[in-house]
Structure 1
Amino acid sequence: MPQFESQVQLPAAPEKIFDFISRPKNLASLSPPDAGLVFVEAPEVLSLGSIMVCRVQAYGVVQQLEQKITVFNSPVGFREELIKGPIKSYIHDYIIEQQDDELCVLKNRIEFEPPGGLIGLMVTADKILDQLEDAFAYRRQMLVKAFS
């Protein structure tokens, strides 16, 4: 499966970063405006087993996704997995690593399997990787701003 990784160094304790990223409203604020991310259904704060239903715009089409939190280890990270959506598989790990008393690194690791069939001819792994790189460049900027 194709993989993507992004990381950003933040001047905050793991607990503060974890609290921020475990709130869907904050995750929405980290998404590029052109993605049109809107949570249709989500808890205020994530926990093990939480379901998030959202709409996003990708490739000119609004799509609905359903994701579930399958691993939840406060304050070091969690995993969200796609339950329903346009691609075959999407696993997103949020990992917080403390560097010293004042700095942590937030890593995002994503493994995915592109869609098959005719859609798969247009929505290739390379296109998805390019889209993730753009989205996470924006996300890194927003996180630095949120923790500065």
Structure 2
Amino acid sequence: MPCIKIETTIHAPVQRCFDLSRSIDLHQISTIETKERAIAGKTSGLIGLNETVTWQAKHFGITQKLTSKITVFNSPHYFVDEMVKGAFKSFKHEHHFEEINGQTQMKDRFDYTSPLGILGKLFDSIVLEKYMFKLLEKRNQVIKEYAESEKWKQVLLN
């Protein structure tokens, strides 16, 4: 099971970073290249405990749908989203936030299992793990950009 870990330091309050990370609207902004959009469940605003969202996006030339659910929620320090239905066999994405010296340390841990057994593992090692890392890294850079500027107001104050 691949495990992707990313740490991002953000010069902004922990609550702002936490809320931007669970914003459906900001997620859609950060995934504009894959045309990801929320089509069912929570489709805008801030997602919370036990809420689901179904995403539709184009990855590897194929339009896909994925439904995830917030299974753990401890504002503003930690939340987890897990796949309910989608292309993966399973995934669990942990989001950790800690304020240190006026900055937020945001840590992501993304564990997933691909379908198709040995073929899925081969696809992981050749393509998917790097692809997922880049998607998550891009998302975190957008969160950082919005949190450290006045752009956060466009997302959280609407």
- TM score, norm. by length of structure 1: 0.88
Alignment partner, residue 112 of structure 1 = 112
Residues 120, 14 of structure 1: CA spacing in aligned structure 2 closer, same or farther, 3 A cutoff?
A: same
Q: 1:50 to 1:9 in 2, by over 3 A?
A: same
Q: Tell me if structure 2 keeps the 8 A contact 1:80–1:92.
A: yes
Deviations 1:1-48 (A, max 9, x none): 2100112111111111112222211122222x3222111024322111
Structure 2 residue 8 is matched with structure 1 residue 8? yes
* Alpha carbons 2:20, 2:147 under 8 Å: kept: no
In the other structure, the counterpart of 2:153 is: none
Residue 77 of structure 1, CA deviation? 1.8
Name 1:51's counterpart in structure 2. 52
Q: Give the residue type in structure 2 aligned to 1:52.
A: V
Q: How has the CA–CA distance of structure 1 residues 103 and 132 changed in structure 2, closer, same or farther, with 3 Å as cutoff?
A: same
Equivalent position of 1:38 in the other structure? 37
Q: Which moved more, 1:125-134 or 1:46-55?
A: 125-134
Which residue of structure 1 aligns with residue 133 of structure 2? 133
| 1:47 partner letter | G
CA–CA distance in structure 1, aligned partners of residues 115 and 80 of structure 2: 21
8 Å CA contact retained: 1:10, 1:104 = yes
In structure 1, what is the equivalent of residue 25 of structure 2? 25
Alpha-carbon RMSD across the aligned residues, in angstroms, is 1.9
The residue type equivalent to 1:37 in the other structure is E
- 8 Å CA contact retained: 1:113, 1:125: no
Q: Describe the SS at the equivalent of 1:124.
A: helix
Partner of 1:65: 66
1:61-100 superposed matches below 5 A: 61-100=62-101
Q: Which runs of 5+ in 1 are unaligned?
A: none
Distance across 1 between alignment mates of 2:117 and 2:110: 22
| Aligned length in residues | 146
Give the Cα–Cα distance (whole angstroms) in 2 for the partners of residues 23 and 143 of structure 1.
10
Residues 141 and 121 of structure 1: is their aligned pair in 2 closer, same or farther, counting only changes over 3 Å? closer
CA deviations on 1:63-115 (whole Å, 9 max, x unpaired) are 00011110011000210000100110111011101111x20111111000011
Asked if the contact 1:114/1:125 (under 8 Å) is kept, the reply is no
